[in-house]
A and B are shown apart, each in its own frame.
Chain A
Amino acid sequence: MAEQPTKTSRKSEQGAHAKRRDRPPGPRFEMRISTKYAPHEPSEGKPLTCTDETSLKPDQLLELYRYLKLTRLVEERLVNLYRQTKVVGGVFRSLGQEATAVGTAYALQPGDFITPLIRDLGAVLVKGIRPRDIFAQYMAKAWGPSGGRDLNIHFGDMGKGFIGPISHLGDMIPVMTGILIGARMQKKEIVAVAYIGDGGMSTGAFHEGLNFAAVQRLPLLVIAEYNHFAYSTPTSLQTACRDLAEKAAGYGIPSHIVDGNDVVACYEVTKHAADYARRGGGAVLIEAKTYRRKGHAEHDDQRYVAPDEIEWWEKHNDPVDRFEKYLLEKNVAKQDKLDEIVSEVTRAIEEDCAWAESSPLPEGEKAAYGVFDNSIVPPAFRPPVLEK
């Protein structure tokens, strides 16, 4: 299989900004490991697995495996609930791109922040959000973290470093810049990860946010997920750049391309970028090459996808299969150990799903609360003329 050469940060670092007069000398961004990414073409040689170059210990590798399976199985459970009409809105899958979310988020420390996209459920779970919250959110239940006011992963948990996205793509990049401005004033040495896709990078908010973060030299890692589609629109209609990583040059920040279906490589690149950012290097753009195997949401029949493309990715470049092969080949675990992890995850999911299903829907009047701090501004009840 023809593999493309790794695109390192070097090119973007040697631009006009290398000698900016007011930029203090900081650490250089140089990847120690070479992470190659697999292009979309028939596999001829050895089946794909994951990179050998890792500092992860066996128990960490197995934890990664657990999160990968957890992500996939939570989504499968959501599809079941959707088909039973228990999900009020749509279900958005990350099938085939779970490694990007899981591997990158796993590289962070507890105080660090993430803001995911809808297809980064894996990152949300790695940050410690429980599947029961996700189920309750999708089913619009009262016990969900937003009490039925918003959908899916549109909520947050500041204590866990999770800030949910809004539907307007790109908006979270400036918000995360603000998180880091706040942290800097509070002398907290944290990094923040903002996920974005090939579509979201076309927005003005993305540009404004990343430009500001770069100017302020804030430790913001942007994970750009090249998954080939934004709803039905191919990446070629989003940008004239061949790689999303090319855009980093426009902000004077380093970038790196990683195989988004190699969970170990995603971890290593993000870990390295996080270390660099934490040391004062500033923002980094990481492009993860992956593929969205499901439609935009469950209703989408994917008529715009070339024949056999999805099947190719499923057969030759599934991130979970690749990591399983890796774990077995490297003797990190035997198959029965992996099976045991899957049974445990399945049990946990069933328990959480049952809990969420047992939650009532919210009472209608609850809609009136919480626009403002209600100790100052009263709830927005219906006007008396509508009441008996």
Chain B
Amino acid sequence: MSTAVKKEHRSARPERGGPATMVEAIRQGIWEEMERDPTVFVIGEDVGAFGGAFKVTDGLIDEFGKERVIDTPISEGAIVGAACGAALMGMRPVAEFQFIDFISAGFDLLTNYAAKCRYRWGAGIPAVFRGPCGSGVRSGPFHSLNAEAFFLNTAGLKIVEPSTAYDAKGLIKAAIRDPDPVLYFEHKKLYRLPRLREDLPADDYIVEIGKAKVVREGRDLTIITFGAMVLTALDAAEELEKEGLDVEVIDLRTLAPLDKATILASVKKTSRVIILHEASRTGGIGGEIAALLSEEAFEWLDAPIIRLASIDTPVPYSPPLEDYYLPQTKDVVSAARKLAAY
């Protein structure tokens, strides 16, 4: 029940809407949900007095108290298990992993307990498991993970990852209100990116889980991506436009269950596809999407499907190494040229 230290200052309640970065948008979303619904609570490491490693939960403890903002030991198994138990009691936990890399320490309870409870005996687990993911921030092998592929093969977990402040707020609210467990991945590179700062509506809204978004319309080629790679894809699309190539970009937003309809509609229009993601190539979500297109859009394809993903190594620390590891804008541009030449 006790928190680490007594805080000197009190962080202000976030504005309802207004200009916000992604991290502010998530904080707004959690704060508003805790105000709206007394069953919503936050649990994780250093989420209380410290406000979380990235300040997503800053100020919540002053407003909602330590019963609803629970600092835990360094125990991801305890965090996930306790979130599941509280959810069974009708609460709506928002559990934080300090970095999504540490989700591996809660893997057993996520995949065996949270994911299977409804199927086994009809007891839904309305819990959100969130945390900062993503590479490109020079953080090395243990603070850069993209974890989605670890969970795609587990029935019972929804997975979302926003790439805009608007979606971040709408998706965290939707995840909290969802009757099933949702993994909510936040790309840490996007948290405070000025480019993503936008005016959020003052009114309550959600972004529906399971719906992808066409973030740029085009006729010639589709890039299917999500998270920070949406920006890479948009940058590449702008460059390709100068060459007369009209690129469509899909931000998946939800990785499980996939929005097949949006993906298929786009591919049937453009007939050329690049799947772009940050996690390593082998066994990544790109393979799953490629297989889906092969099964359900084969006759519409005019060229092979290209997967652009990181190389099959851990995420390296040094900038030249990490830049080599990650797909870059120039890689997307050259892959698109190849596809267009078919």
Q: Do A and B come from one complex?
A: yes
Contacts of B218 in A (CB 8 A): none
The answer to whether B77 touches A182, judged by C-beta atoms less than 8 angstroms apart, is no
The answer to whether B82 touches A178, judged by C-beta atoms less than 8 angstroms apart, is yes
Say whether A281 faces chain B, with CB atoms less than 8 Å apart.
no
The CA of A97 and the CA of B118, in the complex, are separated in Å by 31
- Tell me the interface secondary structure of chain B in the complex: mixed
Question: Beta-carbon contacts of B120-134 to A below 8 Å, as 1s and 0s?
Answer: 111110000000000
Within the complex, the shortest CB–CB distance from B87 to chain A, in Å, comes to 7
Interface residues of B in 150-199 (CB under 8 A from A): 155-156, 158, 178-180
The CA of A155 and the CA of B156, in the complex, are separated in Å by 17
Say whether A173 faces chain B, with CB atoms less than 8 Å apart.
yes
Say whether B257 faces chain A, with CB atoms less than 8 Å apart.
yes
The CA of A368 and the CA of B2, in the complex, are separated in Å by 45
- Knowing A149-B119, A212-B78, A371-B156, the reply to whether A166 touches B86 (Cβ < 8 A) is no
The answer to whether B81 touches A182, judged by C-beta atoms less than 8 angstroms apart, is no
Question: Beta-carbon contacts of A172-184 to B below 8 Å, as 1s and 0s?
Answer: 1111111111111
The answer to whether A217 touches B81, judged by C-beta atoms less than 8 angstroms apart, is no
Say whether B237 faces chain A, with CB atoms less than 8 Å apart.
no
The answer to whether B180 touches A370, judged by C-beta atoms less than 8 angstroms apart, is no
The CA of A361 and the CA of B189, in the complex, are separated in Å by 52
Say whether B108 faces chain A, with CB atoms less than 8 Å apart.
yes
The answer to whether B70 touches A181, judged by C-beta atoms less than 8 angstroms apart, is yes
Q: Which residue of A lies closest to B178 (CB)?
A: A376
Contacts of B121 in A (CB 8 A): 145-146, 149-150, 154-156, 164
Contacts of A176 in B (CB 8 A): 85
Say whether B12 faces chain A, with CB atoms less than 8 Å apart.
no
Q: Contacting chain B: which of A48-56, A202-210, A232-240, A320-328?
A: A202-210
The answer to whether A178 touches B156, judged by C-beta atoms less than 8 angstroms apart, is no
The CA of A98 and the CA of B315, in the complex, are separated in Å by 52
Q: How many residues of B contact A (CB 8 A)?
A: 48
Q: Which residue of A lies closest to B82 (CB)?
A: A178
The answer to whether A209 touches B78, judged by C-beta atoms less than 8 angstroms apart, is yes
The CA of A376 and the CA of B211, in the complex, are separated in Å by 12
Contacts of A385 in B (CB 8 A): 295
Q: Which residue of B lies closest to A378 (CB)?
A: B257
The answer to whether A182 touches B112, judged by C-beta atoms less than 8 angstroms apart, is no
- Knowing A166-B112, A174-B77, the reply to whether A212 touches B86 (Cβ < 8 A) is no
Question: Beta-carbon contacts of A155-196 to B below 8 Å, as 1s and 0s?
Answer: 110100001101110011111111111111110000000000
Contacts of B104 in A (CB 8 A): none
Say whether A306 faces chain B, with CB atoms less than 8 Å apart.
no
Say whether A1 faces chain B, with CB atoms less than 8 Å apart.
no
Contacts of B73 in A (CB 8 A): 208, 211-212, 215
Cβ-neighbour of B85 out of A177, A186, A377 (below 8 A): A177
Contacts of A185 in B (CB 8 A): 39, 41, 67-68, 86, 91
Q: Which residue of A lies closest to B115 (CB)?
A: A371
Question: Beta-carbon contacts of B265-307 to A below 8 Å, as 1s and 0s?
Answer: 0000000000000000000000000000001000000000000
The CA of A177 and the CA of B156, in the complex, are separated in Å by 22
Say whether A308 faces chain B, with CB atoms less than 8 Å apart.
no
Question: Beta-carbon contacts of B50-82 to A below 8 Å, as 1s and 0s?
Answer: 000000000000000001101011011110111
Q: List 8 A-B contacts (CB under 8 A).
A: A174-B75, A174-B109, A178-B82, A178-B86, A181-B43, A182-B89, A212-B72, A372-B118
B interface residues with partner A (beta carbon < 8 Å):
1-2, 39, 41, 43, 67-68, 70, 72-73, 75-78, 80-91, 93, 108-109, 112-113, 116, 118-124, 155-156, 158, 178-180, 210, 257, 295
